[in-house]
Structure 1
Amino acid sequence: MYKNELDTHIKNQSVSNSFVFFGESVFLIDMYTKMLTNIDDANILNYYHDEYDFNSAKSHLSQGSLFGDRNILIIKSEKKVPKKDLDTLLEYCDKNPDNIFVYAYYGSDHKTYNNKKAFAKSNAMSVRFFHPKDYEAQNIVLEVARAKNVKIDKYTVSHLLQIHNGDVALASNEIEKFRVYDREITTKDVDSLVFGLAEVNLDDFIKKILAKKDFRDDLLSILEHGEDEIRVITAITSYLTQLYMFNIYIRVNGAPNALEILGYPAPKFVVDEKAALSIKIKPLIYSKLHELLLRSELKMKSSHIDKTAILLSTLIRVQKLL
């Protein structure tokens, strides 16, 4: 089944109470998981990656609620749940229509679930989510805007998506910035408040700093496109904090796990890159870098001196510490 078929079932109120979501779009998997489990007073049990425990999951679906509420089980994982476990959990949902079970699979083995025979013995709806097409992405962002009471038309949304190279997740996250306006959002507002992937990417800029390369032209471009010096500092601090989390996790467990470190799945190449970067920096250097960045941020917020000069000086000192 594909997204449009699921949408039809939702519209006709003919959805099942068990779902297997997989595919290329993590954003859509998460969006539909939240949509179909957003039930007041439900007893929700969430499992993320290695937290999954079959016995407690089975117990949650098999037990009756003391107050007549619904029991909801959500499993989010890059690893496949054993087929025998999955069949059992789906069977419990078939027996009790008041329960809801969503298995959100973030892995890349789509063939396993992209098969009508895989769940033929249950009422489960198996749905593959592809990356949204242009018009789908536009409609999704418009719906996010409506939910947040942000007035914005499809042309401005299209401009926002273009800035973020069609990334519906990033564009949807930007909508929050526009809630401060009690009027319709224009493309000028978007250009003023949004820093997109179409310009110099902040992550690429930070990686250039960490690689001790000349960053001055990129910094100038970033600032010319309206980025604030304080946000540049906080972005670098956040990036280094993430690397430090990778560093600690790898030293303790031997290998990185994006879901446990970041709280969400990430592509393998991203995980590998951040893991490699993280182990190049010693724990003591992480401490010194954070201290330097936080002091610089405080100085920018508490004085009227040239913020660009402070930022440039700070970035040069960052490279000297590395």
Structure 2
Amino acid sequence: MYRAEFDKHLQNNSISNSFILFGESHFLIENYAKKLTNIPDASTLSLYHDEYDAKLARAHLSQASLFSDVNVLFIKSEKKVPKKELDELVELCEKNKDNIFVYAYFGSDHKTYSNAYKNKSTMCVRFFNPNHNEALQILLQIAKEKDVNIDKYSIAHLLNIHNSDIALATNEMDKFSVYDKEITTKDIDKLVWGLGEISLDDFIKKILLKKEFKEDLQNILEHGEDEIRVLTTICSYITQLYMFNIYIRVNGRANALEILGYPAPGFVVDEKAALSLKIKPNTYYKLHSLLLDSELKMKSSHIDKSAILLSTLIRVQKLL
């Protein structure tokens, strides 16, 4: 099932006692796993990554707890738990409804769990990366829970600073919660540390305007940013420009709400519209092909990722 259906089960209190959480959004997997395992006074065993031990996991769900009526087992791993062992853990929950088992799978083999337990009460939930509007709603809810006074436009600005990384944006909420006032975009620019300091948007614009960028790239990487993430962010930015380009050529003007799905400040729209028209449609195709090929190289080889990134960005400027 997907998140929307699972949310209905949570609202109606019709959930099972064993869960397999998987999918593209690690943030949502982690978030829902915390909700499901947060059982007051339960006897909880958490096994992360290489800590997983089949005998220990079985024993925890098999034994009667001395201090609680509920045994909670939480397994979090990028590696798949062997099918036979997973079946045994699920079966222990089928036999004893006081058990709770949550398996958070952070790997990429999503097909394995899509229909894994149709004949069992186990709930297999796939979490996709939230789109912009979904991310806004999630962060608004988190802000409400943490008593942070912030509107959706400021949250959109925060997401933009962190390149739509909802996990990074969520981490900022604790920082904002100590302020007894409304958090504005100006406050965010002052308080947020990370890509906001480096201004990744400005970095991308330097590349697209064929300006010198090597010092900025070094600064970004020294701040701990991952090369693959920098590359995918540039690719997303160019995709957005291509959407502007197509829309303007068809309609004669830019409309952020229709292009992006949310309103944006006028100066941002004008800037992206102008930049999008500087690139020819055929060049967009070449840029995407180059960036996607480079991303694949980074993910499938042991070559220096920084070297691949630098080489790719130089080639990007040659294509423009």
| TM-score scaled by length of structure 2 | 0.63
For structure 2, list consecutive stretches of 5 or more residues without a partner in the other structure. Answer: 204-211, 227-295, 307-320
Partner residue of 2:285?
none
Shift of 1:215: 6.0
Moved over 6 A (4+): 270-277
CA distance in 2, matches of 1:40, 1:46: 15
CA distance in 2, matches of 1:67, 1:13: 25
User: Which one of the candidate residues 166, 169, 193 is aligned to 1:171?
Assistant: 169
Shift of 1:158: 1.3
Residues 271, 191 of structure 1: CA spacing in aligned structure 2 closer, same or farther, 3 A cutoff?
Answer: farther
Partner residue of 1:90?
90
User: Which one of the candidate residues 116, 124, 134 is aligned to 1:136?
Assistant: 134
Shift of 1:268: 11
Q: Is the 1:200–1:218 Cα contact (8 Å) retained in structure 2?
A: no
Partner residue of 2:54?
54
Partner residue of 2:253?
none
Partner residue of 2:37?
37
CA distance in 1, matches of 2:126, 2:156: 25
Q: Is the 1:23–1:130 Cα contact (8 Å) retained in structure 2?
A: yes
Partner residue of 1:155?
153
Q: Is the 2:57–2:73 Cα contact (8 Å) retained in structure 1?
A: yes
Deviations 1:104-146 (A, max 9, x none): 111111111112xx21232100001000111211111112222
Residues 15, 178 of structure 1: CA spacing in aligned structure 2 closer, same or farther, 3 A cutoff?
Answer: same
Residues 170, 62 of structure 1: CA spacing in aligned structure 2 closer, same or farther, 3 A cutoff?
Answer: same
User: Which one of the candidate residues 139, 142, 145 is aligned to 2:143?
Assistant: 145
For structure 1, list consecutive stretches of 5 or more residues without a partner in the other structure. Answer: 205-212, 223-231, 240-266, 278-322
Residues 126, 217 of structure 1: CA spacing in aligned structure 2 closer, same or farther, 3 A cutoff?
Answer: closer
Identity %: 56
Residues 90, 166 of structure 1: CA spacing in aligned structure 2 closer, same or farther, 3 A cutoff?
Answer: same
CA distance in 2, matches of 1:217, 1:24: 30
Partner residue of 1:11?
11
Residues 134, 74 of structure 1: CA spacing in aligned structure 2 closer, same or farther, 3 A cutoff?
Answer: same
* Secondary structure, aligned partner of 1:74: strand
CA distance in 1, matches of 2:176, 2:303: 31
Shift of 1:39: 1.1
Paired residue total: 227
| TM-score scaled by length of structure 1 | 0.63
